Amino acid sequence: MPPSAPPYSLPPVVVWFRDDQRLADNPALEYAIATGHPVVCVYVHDPAPQNTRPPGAAGRWWLHESLHALNATLIALGGELTVLHGSESQTIEAFAVAIGAIKVCWNRRYSASQRETDIAIKTALKERGIAVFTFNGHLLREPWTVATRDGRPFQVFGAYWRAARHEYSPEAPRPGPQRIDFFPVPENVAVAARVKNLSALALQPRTPDWAGGLRETWQCGEQAGWTQLDDFLANALTRYASGRDVPAMQATSRLSPYLRFGNLSARQVWHAVLSAARAAHHCGNGRSASTASSSVDKFLDELGWREFSYYLLYHCAPLHQVNFKRQFDTMPWRADATDLRAWQRGRTGYPLVDAGMRELWHTGWMHNRVRMVTASFLVKHLLIDWREGETWFWDTLVDADDASNPANWQWVAGSGADAAPYFRIFNPVLQGQKFDPQGAYVRRWVPELARLPNGCVHAPWLAQPAQLALASVRLGQDYPLPVVPHQQARERALKAMGRVTSTSF
């Protein structure tokens, strides 16, 4: 042990927190505690990670709040979170050596670049005589444990999910520790890399402070995740299947950011949902039990899509950069900054699209049905490269991750695994009329249209002059005209995508 460290009976074990910012069901932390050695809890903020993207602006906001909550939980147990700043490859090794660590533990990551980084760190630590132990703390199943009969990766969700669930049940989640024996890190260890205050990481916006809507919408961290999960189970799970496509209805879980940052584990959510389903079955009548069962199955399938996205991330080229179907490399995308900006600002002239984009900007989140409609609009109505949309969502979503965000964009674009057919082009007017028939969602997020009648709130350009005047709407001034007519956009998209599919598939 270096002379700067205080005397301690046993050398410490370092737990490196990454996308697993919780204490319960955290196998790396559980293992470290079980060794009987004192524990050091560490987070490394790498502002410029090699070959990977740093979090977007909304993700950085959540990261700050999540780390603050994690630190508060550790303080309540008598310790703290040691935050380091710098290259992961250099910082974690230097810190472990400086405190005389005997082991370093972490939960695994799955992109190729992240795995390369972790392998390099593991090799460097072992050369220093420091053992490394890694665990699955993020998924229900590791990507390499599911394959076709001839050992190849699945490319279709249905087949993958059947195989992933066949004779398999995720392990029961483990409770959080009641006590942790913390190792007191000397103040003079890793001075250059150590951060005394989270604010020094500059993760939150300052001038201008655009995060007011995020603060109004979210509580972050492990305890907040459980509050959200409990609320979903009590108030929305039984109507999830029937209501999940209605953006004005509170029928979705809103658990995605908690899963993204590991405030909750997939195992915790899985077993909590099944437990709630069993309780509903015992207490409800036959019809309500059947409804609950349908909702549970649908929700578990959505967890399956998350698993499938990480499966693709593990097996494929970088999802946010490379078309899964390389035939789409020849797609004749349009480079139109004006149309892109109109989409980003929620000024396309299509109310459902604009409502979704404004909800995203204000809250850092968007309803799933509306995500599909807004993504389809950018890719197919505007014929703008899906990567532009993925990048915007990466920066503005609190739940954007390396797997689901690009996988979902590629699904909509038609270039991804198990993707929507290229000829599926959502009509935003019909989508609004079907899933927001009273216009409640549009009226909330596009208030300039709030006084229009239901019959034209999703297509204000079809309103009579008297209706517009009564609603105080001047098209082209208070609210824009459509950036492109739907039928024209559809024909243009089909022509462009038809050229790709006819020559490449």
Q: What is the DSSP letter of 479?
A: B
Rounded to the nearest 10 degrees, how much is the dihedral formed by the CA atoms of 233, 238, 244, 248? -80
401 annotated ligand binder = yes
Q: 232 or 187: which carries more pLDDT confidence? A: 232
The percent of residues in the chain predicted with pLDDT above 90, rounded, is: 87
pLDDT of residue 432: 98
Could you give the maximum distance between any two Cα atoms of the chain, in Å?
83
The answer to whether residue 239 is domain-embedded is yes
240 annotated ligand binder = yes
One domain, residues 295 and 285:
yes
Beta strands 194-195 and 81-85: pairing type? antiparallel
Q: Give exposure, 27-65, as e/b (b: 16+ Cβ within 10 Å).
A: bbbbbbbebebbbbbbbbbbeebeebbebbbbbbbbbbb
The answer to whether residue 45 is domain-embedded is yes
One domain, residues 345 and 483:
yes
One domain, residues 280 and 300:
yes
The answer to whether residue 3 is domain-embedded is yes
One domain, residues 330 and 346:
yes
Q: What is the pLDDT of residues 299-340, one digit of tens each?
A: 999 999 999 999 999 999 999 999 999 999 999 999 999 999
> For residue 342, how many C-alpha atoms fall within 13 Å in the half-sphere facing its CB?
21
- Mean pLDDT, all residues of the chain: 93
299 annotated ligand binder = yes
Number of H helices, E strands in the chain: 20, 6
305 vs 311: CA distance, rounded Å: 9
17 annotated ligand binder = no
Task: Scan for tokens 């697993």, then name that residue.
Answer: 20
One domain, residues 230 and 307:
yes
400 annotated ligand binder = yes
> For residue 87, how many C-alpha atoms fall within 13 Å in the half-sphere facing its CB?
9
| Number of structural domains found in the chain | 3
One domain, residues 146 and 291:
yes
261 annotated ligand binder = no
> For the packed helices 286-315 and 404-413, what is the interaxial angle rounded to 10 degrees?
100
Annotation marks residue 368 as catalytic: yes
Would you say residue 192 has pLDDT above 80? no
Would you say residue 152 has pLDDT above 70? yes
One domain, residues 489 and 391:
yes
399 annotated ligand binder = yes
- Residue ending a domain, among 257, 282, 315, is 315
Would you say residue 177 has pLDDT above 60? yes
Catalytic hit among 368, 448, 454, 461: 368
Close Cβ partners of 132 (under 8 Å, ≥ 6 residues apart): 103, 104, 105, 106, 121, 122, 125, 126
Catalytic hit among 61, 392, 394, 409: 409
- Residue ending a domain, among 137, 166, 197, is 137
One domain, residues 26 and 148:
no
Would you say residue 505 has pLDDT above 50? no
Catalytic hit among 62, 218, 361, 386: 386
One domain, residues 148 and 123:
no
234 vs 228: CA distance, rounded Å: 10
One domain, residues 64 and 152:
no
The answer to whether residue 331 is domain-embedded is yes
The answer to whether residue 311 is domain-embedded is yes
What token pair was written down for 356? 């979704």
Would you say residue 2 has pLDDT above 60? no
Annotation marks residue 409 as catalytic: yes
One domain, residues 152 and 123:
no
Task: Scan for tokens 């939960």, then name that residue.
Answer: 107
- Residue ending a domain, among 264, 288, 315, is 315
466 annotated ligand binder = no
Catalytic hit among 80, 302, 454, 461: 302
- Tell me the residue range of the domain where 348 lies: 326-500
Whole-model pTM?
A: 0.95
One domain, residues 254 and 350:
no
Region of residue 86 (phi > 0: left; psi between -120 and 50: alpha; otherwise: beta): left
Q: What is the 3-state secondary structure (H, E, C) of 213-250?
A: HHHHHCCCCHHHHHHHHHHHHHHCHHHHHHHCCCCCCC
Q: What is the pLDDT of residues 77-90, one digit of tens each?
A: 999 999 999 999 99
Q: Give the model's confidence band at 293: pLDDT under 50 very low, under 70 low, under 90 confident, else very high.
A: confident
pLDDT of residue 504: 47
Catalytic hit among 80, 142, 210, 333: 333
